Amino acid sequence: MPRFADITDTLARQAIELPSWAFGNSGTRFKVFSTPGTPRTPEEKIADAATVHELTGLAPTVALHIPWDTVDDYAALGRRARELGVELGTINSNTFQDEDYKFGSLTHSDARIRQKAIDAHFRCLDIMHATGSTDLKIWLADGTNYPGQDSLRTRQDRLAESLATIYERLAPHQRLVLEYKFFEPAFYHTDVPDWGTSLAQVSALGDRALVCLDTGHHAPGTNVEFIVMQLLRLGRLGSFDFNSRFYADDDLIVGAADPFQLFRILHEVVVGGGLAEGSPVRFMLDQCHNIEEKIPGQIRSVLNVQEMTARALLVDRAALEKAQASHDVLAANEVLMDAFQTDVRGELAAWRESRGLPADPMRAYAESGHQRRLAEQRVGGTQAGWGA
């Protein structure tokens, strides 16, 4: 079995992008709850993300959501991020909160509305040019609620045409990453409901079109690590959106519902080269903190990913391959379980200290008084929230 010292170089390369929207107010379908100290501007969201990175060393980039994070000068926003010790990362498009998109955006039957949605993505590409971002991530709420409401096949044709138009506008160093979600807010069908549909659409576009896997966007019982393996095998896994779910798309702290699933996913990432130097796979959180504080919620999430990554790296792969080759089912399972049950918290804490980071970032934040200062400083203005 590998020693902890054998895996620190890989751990040191690990980077987990934070979503700007995780620092805004969120809640349920019935109420968005406010919290003292919530950011009021994109700049304040980035400042909170920088605090997470300062304490963990794990979160060097921040994803933006457009138009939620609209500013007048994106180059200046990028400079401000760098001053705070982070960079701007993935640009996420929003074509699901405009009245025109009631019956779809990139798949709408009206060519005018499809063009409006395409133009919204062109604006995202302009922002990428200004910020240096390389990834445009697309998630669509497009779909139908009733059988017969629209032609399922025609909507796929419209989607293919719209995505091709956007893809053609990418710069050579930029990528299009297509997310999927098996239901909600459309309840009969969604236009990109699964990894196969996303893969089919991006494969038709070109090598710089990839799939984004959101760990919460699957039906109950889905073997998510199989999907991870297959997309890595095909070279089409562009990014992760890490979160946790109990029933549907709950967007909870990653690892909260099923730490073993997170371990299994990361084991396939390790085996498939997703953590290798120069890997094209990007790791991001996608969470909405409904009742917990935002900054410590993000700290907890990135630490959970780091811990399960460490355990996945400690799998004795030689022993595993030997057991698999001899069809020793119990021995193979035991190898995985030994790594999963290894307590790496103490070694991670000591390693963080050796790198000038707090041994316990959660405690360090709680004892810093930072949350109280934010509540005192951020008075007035309009707090950011999900959808704004």
Mean pLDDT of the chain: 96
Q: For helices 152-168 and 111-131, give the axis angle rounded to 10 degrees.
A: 30
Q: In this predicted structure, what is the pLDDT of residue 30?
A: 83
Residue 388: pLDDT band with limits 50, 70, 90: low
Task: Say what percent of the chain tops pLDDT 90.
Answer: 93
pTM over 0.85: yes
Averaged pLDDT, 245-250: 90
In the chain the first and final C-alpha atoms are separated, in Å, by 48
Fold classification of 4-377 (topology level)? TIM Barrel (3.20.20)
Is the per-residue pLDDT at 79 higher than 70? Answer: yes
Is the per-residue pLDDT at 387 higher than 70? Answer: no
Task: Say what percent of the chain tops pLDDT 70.
Answer: 99
**266 burial class (0-12, 13-18, 19+ CB within 10 angstroms)?**
buried
Is the per-residue pLDDT at 146 higher than 90? Answer: yes
pLDDT digits (tens, 9 = 90+) for 43-55: 999 999 999 999 9
**Lowest-confidence pick of 312-316, 343-347, 383-387:** 383-387
The Cα 308–Cα 254 span in angstroms is: 11
Domain residue extents for the chain: 4-377
Higher pLDDT, 248 or 232: 232
Element (H, E) at 144: strand 143-144
**Lowest-confidence pick of 30-39, 163-172, 365-374:** 30-39
Q: Is 56 helix (H, G, I), strand (E, B) or coil?
A: helix
Question: Three-state SS across 231-272?
Answer: HHHCCCEEEEEECECCCCCCCECCCCCCHHHHHHHHHHHHHC
Cα→Cα distances 229→192, 195, 252, 306, Å: 20, 12, 23, 20
Q: In this predicted structure, what is the pLDDT of residue 123?
A: 98
